[in-house]
């Protein structure tokens, strides 16, 4: 999954409800597991903010992006 994010990060959707963040946060849903990868796309790199459980403590990691 991280390889796919690195190759085409803008192909993933923007995470709904994260608009207050200064940079658009995107999400990649991990196949076969209830996890999502939250990341930001910058001109020089892609920053992974969290690998979080999809059902528990939603958006707890959002403070990392602010």
Q: Give 15-38 pLDDT, tens digit per residue.
A: 887 766 677 889 999 988 889 999
Q: How many CA atoms lie within 13 A of 42 on its CB side?
A: 9
Q: Give 32-62 pLDDT, tens digit per residue.
A: 888 999 999 988 999 998 888 888 877 777 7
Q: Is the dihedral of CA 46, 48, 54, 60 positive or negative?
A: negative
DSSP state, residue 14: B
Q: Domain spans of the chain?
A: 2-65
**In what helix (H) or strand (E) does residue 3 lie, and over which residues does it extend?**
helix 2-7
């Amino acid at each position: 999954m991280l390889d796919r994010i690195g190759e085409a990060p803008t192909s993933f959707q923007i995470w709904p409800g994260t608009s207050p963040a200064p940079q658009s946060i995107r999400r990649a849903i991990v196949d076969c597991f209830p996890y999502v990868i939250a990341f930001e796309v910058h001109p020089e790199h892609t920053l992974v903010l969290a690998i979080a459980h999809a059902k528990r403590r939603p958006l707890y990691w959002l403070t990392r992006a602010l």
